[in-house]
């Protein structure tokens, strides 16, 4: 049976429509989650034109310089990937792994390290897979990176002799930290996590970003979801913190701004309400952009984190 002329016309128009969708959605996928070949092996600021971001970056550089005598370069192998990081030994018995947002390297993470130093907690800053000096080419939104965190934690606990390890996630780093905490294979000496700007799923926060930048969400966002399913192996709609939070029984501190338009306050409150942990708290900041809360509220932020550290320490005694 041969196709009619109108059938071929319909197929032609469908192809003409589908190709731009595939192309545009892949470009978005590439910009959001794939590593540029020109950035391999480099640690660089992701938003050099943003004033607030560069203020954080400069403070992070200053913190690294001020604490250089405590620093040593460290590596682990996770699967086939060699990952790099910086370990700061402040003489404590416990450590924290700071997990940054999408495409960020360990320099950026240094901005969040000061309250841990003040609490005598050793600090590990990591280049997540596909960033900085670490190998890899794809950010998988925590769906695969949680295995990397376990490798880092084993280094801290075994070779570097930290009795306990906690996690501090920012944005997508929250996804990775939470997924690590809920795995059956995760050891009990990983004691809990701090989450700044945690969102329910990548679909939600990406949609909010596109709306804020006045870009149409349909059909490019739907195409992006397909690429994420193909390359990351999970759904950007149904997977992520909205699913993992319901299995979270370790201590949890959520830090969130009332002004966050990307990980909205109502969605954050739902995540907190769904969490079954007996030791959980959420601290609301009146002001601060997404992932910029500490810059706007430094003293309040650091005090809240320090109090949570002490709470976990009491629980572990």
> Cis ω on the peptide bond leading into residue 219 (within 30° of 0)?
yes
Residue 295's closest CA among 67, 54, 104?
54
Whole-prediction pTM = 0.94
Q: What integer pLDDT is reported at residue 189 of this predicted model?
A: 97
Q: What's the whole-number average pLDDT of the chain? A: 93
| E strand segments, the chain | 71-78, 81-88, 94-99, 122-126, 164-170, 190-196, 252-257, 280-285
Q: Which two tokens stand for residue 136?
A: 């890899």
Give the whole-number percent of the chain exceeding pLDDT 70: 93
Domains of the chain with CATH codes = 20-32+45-316 (3.40.50.1820)
- pLDDT at site 8: 46
What are the tens digits of pLDDT across the range 264-308?
Answer: 999 999 999 999 999 999 999 999 999 999 999 999 999 999 999
Nearest to 61 by CA among 45, 42, 83: 45
DSSP 157: I
**Mean pLDDT value across residues 98-118:** 97
pLDDT of residue 10: 53
pLDDT score for 39 = 78
- Please give the pLDDT value at position 6: 55
Mean pLDDT throughout 189-209?
97
Q: Which residue has the tokens 């009795």?
A: 163
Query: Predicted confidence band at 11 (pLDDT cuts at 50, 70, 90)?
Result: very low
The least confident of 25-29, 44-48, 189-193, 209-213 is: 25-29
Q: Model confidence at 37, in pLDDT bands (50, 70, 90)?
A: confident
Residue 235 vs residues 62, 141, 262: alpha-carbon distances, Å: 39, 10, 19
Q: Is the pLDDT of residue 158 over 60?
A: yes
Q: What CA–CA distances, in Å, run from 95 to 113, 158, 164, 171, 233? A: 11, 12, 7, 20, 31
* Cβ proximity of 142 and 132 under 8 Å: no
* pLDDT at position 26 over 90: no
Q: With pLDDT > 90 as the criterion, what percentage of the chain qualifies?
A: 83
């Amino acid at each position: 049976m041969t196709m009619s002329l109108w059938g071929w016309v319909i197929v032609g128009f469908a192809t003409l429509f589908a190709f731009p969708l595939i192309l545009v959605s892949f470009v978005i996928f590439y910009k959001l989650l794939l590593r540029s070949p020109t950035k391999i092996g480099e640690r660089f600021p992701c938003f050099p034109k943003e004033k607030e971001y560069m203020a954080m970056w400069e403070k992070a550089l200053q913190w690294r310089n001020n604490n250089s005598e405590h620093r040593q370069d460290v590596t682990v192998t996770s699967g086939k990937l060699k990952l790099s990081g910086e370990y700061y030994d402040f003489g404590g018995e416990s450590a924290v792994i700071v997990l940054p947002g999408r495409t960020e390297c360990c320099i950026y993470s240094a901005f969040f390290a000061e309250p841990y130093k003040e609490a005598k907690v050793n600090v590990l800053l990591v280049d997540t897979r596909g960033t900085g000096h670490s190998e890899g080419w794809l950010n998988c939104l925590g769906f695969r990176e949680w295995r990397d965190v376990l490798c880092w934690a084993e280094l801290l606990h075994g070779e570097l002799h930290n009795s306990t390890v906690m996690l501090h996630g920012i944005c997508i780093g929250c996804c990775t930290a939470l997924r690590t905490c809920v795995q059956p294979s995760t050891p009990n000496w990983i004691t809990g996590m701090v989450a700044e700007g945690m969102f329910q799923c990548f679909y939600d926060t990406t949609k909010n970003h596109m709306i804020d930048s006045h870009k149409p969400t349909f059909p490019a966002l739907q195409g992006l979801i397909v690429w994420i399913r193909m390359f990351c192996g999970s759904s950007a709609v149904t997977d992520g913190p909205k699913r993992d939070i319901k299995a979270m029984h370790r201590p949890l501190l959520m830090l969130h701004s009332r002004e966050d338009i990307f990980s909205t306050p109502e969605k954050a409150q739902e995540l907190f309400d769904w969490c079954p942990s007996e030791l959980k708290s959420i601290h609301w900041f009146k002001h601060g952009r997404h992932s910029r809360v500490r810059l706007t509220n430094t003293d309040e932020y650091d005090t809240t984190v320090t109090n949570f550290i002490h709470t976990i320490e009491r629980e572990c005694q």
